Structure 1
Amino acid sequence: MSLANRVLAVNDDLPIRSDAPVHSGKVRSVYWLTAADSARLIAERGYDVAADAPLAIMVISDRISAFDCIWHGEGGMNGVPGKGAALNAISNHWFALFKEHGLADSHILEIPHPLVWIVQKAKPVMIEAIARQYITGSMWRAYAKGERDFCGIALPDALQRDQKLPELLITPSTKGILEGIPGVPAVDDVNITRADIEANYQAFNFNTAADVDHYEVLLKQGFEVISNELAKLDQIFVDTKFEFGYVRDAQGEQKLIYMDEVGTPDSSRIWDGEAYRRGEIVENSKEGFRQMLLQHFPDPDVLLNKDRMAERQALAANNALPAEVLMAVSNTYVSIAERITASSLTISDNPRAEIIDVLANDFGLID
């Protein structure tokens, strides 16, 4: 079977029984189950959720996004072989470790296939919770231009590119467009301060003011767990994005949980430790793909300048990347997943058929 057929590029047209439109993001698609199917699965599978909790099937794709665009390759490769399975395997591994360490649950109830999660509906906290241990990327570019205040945190002078920061920094931004919050522009992904969150915690979907402290604790603890485990593999956890939300348990109590993905090459920077000690940066995350794109095209400003988004989207749509580029990304994702989980990653020959089969035969969700 060709590489193109092993890629799950389209994941929003599966015949999963649902009574709501499929929500499709850059990488994942969400199928909201009917109330009857949700209640049936809760009873049959014994999930620790309220009996009337809405459930969803979340299907990850092998698409790759960078600079807010979806990229494709030659020969009909509309994604990266193994990428989706690698992301899910890594997230599943970290979520299990979080639970072992007594941190918090995730929204995942069951994993019926390497590309599929069964999740319960969560009320999302409207914050992209970003933690940084090193100064690099956009933070370094701003720092090099003279900025010293980041999300209300003052950085000292004389920091060097890619050096470890004096402490773990939490530099949150908005998740979606939030209106009516004093001092916070109504645009997606704008930096905010802890003071902004504390003063307007309800607007960010926190239940209580105390939960602002709780989310920060969970963010720092989660970062520490992942960082410590990666250090055992001589990998450096540079920075990451976490997301949080509220769900109800079987007793109807609301609890703050981790949601979306955690500690993956898509949501984090991961550097090779040995190379870093030599003064080199070797990326084991999507940042390597972003750097390749910046070098591949003659005018990198198109990728960095948000005012040129129309040109950027045309660039992504009209340029098929060399197959070897996408296979190099595949190797990065699969390799780091296998190192983190200490197990080999199986890449499906026909992921679409496998997903339909398991959801039909084991869960009764295909009409």
Structure 2
Amino acid sequence: MADALRETHFTFDPPAELYRGKVRDVYRRDGQLLMVASDRISSFDHVLPRAIPHKGQILNQIAAHFLEATRDICPNWLEGNPDPNVAIGKACEPIPVEMVIRGYLVGHGWREYSAGKRELCGVPLPEGMREADQFPEPIITPATKAEEGHDEDISREAILERGIVDELTYRKLEDYTRRLFNRGTAMAAERGLILVDTKYEFGIRDGQVYLIDEIHTPDSSRYFYAEGYADRQARGEHQKQLSKEFVREWLMEHGFRGLEGQTMPEMPDAFVESITQRYTELYEQITGKAFVPADTTDIEGRIRRNLAATSWSVQE
């Protein structure tokens, strides 16, 4: 099995502040970010104990693919990718709301619906829907960004009442979210996929809204295969999908839903390898390019060498 990047420990001159997220190590200084996509994987808002080889490279390259393809819709933070696992760009002040948009009733939405709820984030849900049914129109169901633990659903009205953003800014977030989802949907369709749901994160810099973080990756999105979708739905079968949902399903099968008192199950090598294979499949399916794995014999050393020619040269 290839080596995996669990975390980085870089020192820069001038110094940079480090924030270690669920899957990314983010270094910030002088209005810039250096973001290292590690091979960590999270589910149910918990970081799993084992890292997944090549996952960080795959996420970083898919994100770059879609950020470049959507610059005409919304300005974004990305300025360059000096290493397969690294992105450099503008530091923005994050808006503490994830703009989740759902085209189909699956995942968290389905779990809420099957529990009897007919409203999600203030959005009414039609009666008589089945798992994986398409909504008449995509719905926006925001979530508050949590520093630790579970993110929480929040309505448009609550966002404005709490003053998280003003109404004009929120309208812009909604507009960007719908247009980005439409673009992602069209790009997925060209590759034989359905973009089921996703989330976008935004920030403010010099009074302007920027798209930040990753977009349309398997960590932030769900995809169905378009071929056979209608037949599977008619037969009441589970949809064939490319997303991180299979990791959640495996955890649930082994008694873990991220709840207090539950023990994270041990991940065998075969399961770890299957996650790499799924991520690779999604990369190739969604981009139409063959995945070329980077050398993993010394990942931190490779990143150091690739950053040497940038303003982010790592100190020994």
8 Å Cα contact 1:62/1:84 also seen in 2: yes
1:364 to 1:95, Cα distance in 2 relative to 1, 3 A: closer
**Aligned residue number for residue 58 of structure 1:** 35
Matched, 1:141 2:111: yes
* Aligned equivalent of 1:218: 176
In the other structure, the counterpart of 2:243 is 285
Matched residues, percent identical? 29
CA contact (8 A) 2:7 2:25 kept: no
Alignment deviations for residues 283-326 of structure 1 (CA, whole Å, 9 cap, x no partner): 2111111112222x1xx3x415x3x2x433xx25xx2x121211
Structure 2: state its 5+ residue gaps. Answer: 233-237
Query: What residue is the counterpart of 1:261 in the other structure?
Result: 214
Cα distance in 2 between the residues matched to 1:121 and 1:239: 26
Q: In the alignment, which of 39, 43, 47 is matched to residue 70 of structure 1?
A: 47
Match of 2:243, SS state, is: coil
Matched, 1:32 2:28: yes
CA-CA distance at 1:198 after TM superposition: 3.0
SS at match of 2:302: helix
Q: Structure 1 pair 276/82, CA: closer, same or farther in 2 (3 Å)?
A: same
Give distance in 1, aligned partners of 2:124 and 2:249. Answer: 28
Is contact 2:225-2:240 (8 Å) kept?
Answer: yes
1:311 paired to 2:262:
yes
> What does 1:151-230 correspond to in 2, within 5 Å?
151-176=121-146, 189-200=151-162, 203-204=163-164, 206=165, 208-230=166-188
1:147 counterpart SS class: coil
Matched residue of 2:303: which SS?
helix
On the 8 A contact 1:334/1:345 being kept in 2, the answer is: yes
The counterpart of 2:75, out of the listed 83, 86, 105, is: 105
Mapped contact 1:16–1:31 kept (Cα < 8 A)? no
* Contact 1:81–1:347 (8 Å) recurs in 2: no
Query: Relative to structure 1, is the Cα distance of residues 140 and 364 closer, same or farther in structure 2, using a 3 angstrom cutoff?
Result: closer
2:7 matched residue in structure 1: 10
Q: Number of matched residues?
A: 307
Once the two structures are superposed, the pairs formed by residues 118-129 of structure 1 within 5 Å of their partners are: 118-129=88-99
C-alpha separation between the residues in 2 aligned to 1:26 and 1:188? Answer: 12
The answer to whether the Cα contact below 8 Å between 1:241 and 1:268 also exists between their aligned partners in 2 is: yes
Structure 1 residue 336 and structure 2 residue 268: aligned?
A: no
Shift in Å at residue 196 of structure 1? 1.8
Query: What's the C-alpha RMSD, in Å, of the aligned pairs?
Result: 1.9
Q: Counterpart of 1:44?
A: none
After TM superposition, the score normalised by the length of structure 1 is 0.79
What secondary structure, in the 3-state scheme, does the structure 1 residue paired with 2:39 have?
coil
Is 2:15 the partner of 1:19?
Answer: yes
Quote the Cα distance in structure 2 between the aligned partners of 1:21 and 1:112: 20
Q: Retained in 2: the 8 A contact 1:133–1:167? A: yes
In 2, Cα distance between the equivalents of 1:240 and 1:355?
A: 29
Gapped runs of 5+ residues in structure 1?
A: 36-53, 73-77, 178-186, 249-253
Q: Which amino acid is 1:64 matched to?
A: I
TM-score, normalised on structure 2?
A: 0.91
Bigger Cα Rg: 1
Partner AA of 2:92 in structure 1: A
The answer as to whether partners of 1:174 and 1:188 remain within 8 angstroms in 2 is no
Residue matched to 2:60: 88
| Secondary structure in 2 matching 1:131 | strand
How far the C-alpha of 1:364 sits from its partner, in A, is 5.5
Partner residue in 2 for 1:43: none
Closer, same or farther: CA 188–324 of 1 in aligned 2, 3 Å: closer
Following TM superposition, by how much is the alpha carbon of 1:335 offset from its aligned partner in structure 2, in angstroms?
1.7
Query: Displacement, 1:188?
Result: 5.8
CA distance in structure 1 between the partners assigned to 2:19 and 2:251 by the alignment: 28
**CA separation of 1:364/1:169 partners in 2, compared to 1, >3 Å: closer, same or farther?**
closer
